[in-house]
Every structure is written in structure tokens, then in C-alpha cells.
């Protein structure tokens, strides 16, 4: 159990390192779910839970100064406890959402207090033209940030197993059914939030085409993608034959007509 908890904490460290080493999609639930499944001996279930949590967290994005629920900690602990207790996506969501929300408070603490203090240290090194000092501050902040959540996840999985098992066993059927229904609604909500940010009159017709293909012709997702590739190809070919209206640079109309 100790080794498994240690590896769960390491997976959280890897997921958080996406902000530390550069965006590599390490924080995505489907990646973390596969890693948790490999550690706990059920990689197939880990990938399935990660995929479903991916849909649940899809619409939770940081906009401006807002900090969304912590997808990394929620995904890892939700998947880990679901596998260890023999549960499914309802168990994963039951654990993932509260864990993600609680973890986001600690993220806020870092963003609002700890990181600004360390940034001031980096500013002092910058005034001294000490690039090595700046590098040490950023590395220390990265390791402190990642390590904090890794330790929290290690402790939660190490000592929270019995509590979570009792919690899962005490959940009534009606609540479990409700969570399962919510799990089906969340992906639609996530897609709706994403679409609301990119929706325009130029893309609406294509979204409508995809919906009609799925709803009325029962075309699967792969089929919709193939149709989309064909439509893009047609548009590119049509573009080649459209006349290009070009006005010479600096050309002015003669307004002196009288």
C-alpha cells in the first residue's frame, strides 16, 4: 500500500510538472488515468475512467484570474480510489470533484501568496543581473508547487482508503444513479462551454451539419470526421477557382470627377 501511495503521489507530481517543464498534456485525465491504472494493476479500467473524467473536466478551464477545480489531483485520486474500491465512474466522480475543488484552494494559495513572494526574490536577482539566481527561484517554486500536491495525494491515498471505502459503501442507490446521470450530462456541458467560446456564423453551419449527420443519419464519430475531411477538401478546391479581388497597394480612386 505504501509503494502504491508513493507512486500515486509521483503521478500527481508528473501531472503538475506540465506547468514546470512545458505544456506536454501530462495533466490530462486520460494520461493520468492510464498511469494510475498501470500502478494499481488495472490499466484498462484506468484508461476508461481517465477518458470519462476527461469529458467531465473538459469545460473547466482557467479564464482570466479564475482558478478552476484542480483536474490533476481530482483525476488521480478519483481514478485511484475507484480502482482500489472496485467502483466505476460514479465512484471516480464522487471522489474527483470534491478533491479537485479542495485542491484548487491550495492552488489559489500558491498563486496569490507563495509564488508572488518568490517572484519578488527573482526580481532582486534580476536587478543584480544574476541569471543563476533567477533560475534557482523558478526551479524551487516549481518543485515546491509540484511536491506539495504530490505529498497531499500520497497522504490522502495512504490514509484515506478505509474512509473512502466506507463512504462508497454508504452511498444510497438513488444518489449513485444521480451521479451516473450527471456523468453523462457533464460531457455535453463541457462541449457547450467550449462551443460558446468559438461559436460564430462562420462555423455554425458546420456544427449543424455534424449534428444532423449524427442525429438523423446515425453516422458515428469517425464518419463525421471523414465527412469533415471531405468538406475541407472541397472548400480548398473551390477556393482555387474563385476569382481573387486584389487592389494594388497605394491605388486611390480619382475623386476629381467634376
Cell of 196: 460558446
* pLDDT value for 245: 58
Are the C-beta atoms of 94 and 179 separated by less than 8 Å? yes
Taking only the tens place, the pLDDT of each residue in 29-81 is: 888 989 999 988 888 888 988 888 887 787 666 655 566 778 888 889 889 98
Instruction: Give the mean pLDDT of 155-167.
Output: 71
H-helix segments, the chain? 2-16, 18-21, 29-40, 43-56, 71-84, 89-109, 115-127, 131-159, 161-170, 173-198, 201-217, 221-241
- The predicted pLDDT at position 17 comes to 84
pLDDT at residue number 180 = 64
Q: Which residues contact 147 (CB under 8 A, 6 or more apart)?
A: 13
Residue 20: per-residue pLDDT: 67
> Does pTM top 0.75 for this prediction?
no
Q: Please, which residues have CB within 8 angstroms of residue 137's CB and are 6 or more apart in sequence? A: 118, 119, 121, 122, 125
The single residue listed with the C-alpha cell 519578488 is 120
Share above pLDDT 90 across residues of the chain, in percent, rounded to a whole number:
2
pLDDT tens figures, 195-233: 777 777 777 888 888 888 888 888 888 888 888 899 888
So what's the pLDDT on residue 55? 79
pLDDT at 161 exceeding the cut of 80: no
DSSP letter assigned to residue 244:
P
Amino acid at each position: 500500500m505504501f509503494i502504491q501511495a508513493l507512486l500515486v503521489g509521483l503521478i500527481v507530481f508528473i501531472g503538475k510538472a506540465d506547468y514546470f517543464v512545458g505544456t506536454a498534456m501530462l495533466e490530462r485525465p486520460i494520461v493520468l488515468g492510464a498511469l494510475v491504472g498501470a500502478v494499481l494493476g488495472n490499466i484498462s479500467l484506468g484508461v476508461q475512467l481517465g477518458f470519462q473524467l476527461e469529458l467531465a473536466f473538459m469545460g473547466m478551464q482557467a479564464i482570466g484570474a479564475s482558478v478552476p477545480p484542480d483536474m490533476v489531483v481530482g483525476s488521480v485520486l478519483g481514478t485511484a480510489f475507484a480502482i482500489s474500491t472496485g467502483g466505476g465512474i460514479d465512484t471516480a466522480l464522487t471522489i474527483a470533484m470534491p478533491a479537485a475543488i479542495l485542491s484548487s484552494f491550495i492552488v489559489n494559495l500558491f498563486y496569490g501568496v507563495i509564488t508572488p513572494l518568490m517572484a519578488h526574490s527573482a526580481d532582486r536577482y534580476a536587478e543584480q543581473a544574476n541569471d543563476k539566481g533567477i533560475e534557482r527561484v523558478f526551479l524551487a517554486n516549481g518543485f515546491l508547487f509540484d511536491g506539495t500536491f504530490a505529498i497531499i495525494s500520497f497522504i490522502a491515498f495512504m490514509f484515506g482508503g478505509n474512509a473512502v471505502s466506507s463512504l462508497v459503501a454508504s452511498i444510497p442507490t438513488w444518489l449513485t444513479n444521480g451521479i451516473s446521470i450527471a456523468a453523462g450530462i457533464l460531457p455535453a456541458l463541457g462541449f457547450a462551454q467550449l462551443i460558446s467560446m468559438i461559436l460564430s456564423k462562420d462555423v455554425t453551419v458546420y456544427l449543424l451539419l455534424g449534428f444532423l449527420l449524427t442525429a438523423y443519419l446515425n453516422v458515428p464519430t469517425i464518419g463525421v470526421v471523414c465527412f469533415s475531411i471531405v468538406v475541407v477538401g472541397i472548400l480548398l478546391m473551390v477556393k482555387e477557382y474563385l476569382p481573387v479581388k486584389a487592389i494594388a497597394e497605394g491605388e486611390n480612386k480619382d475623386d476629381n470627377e467634376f
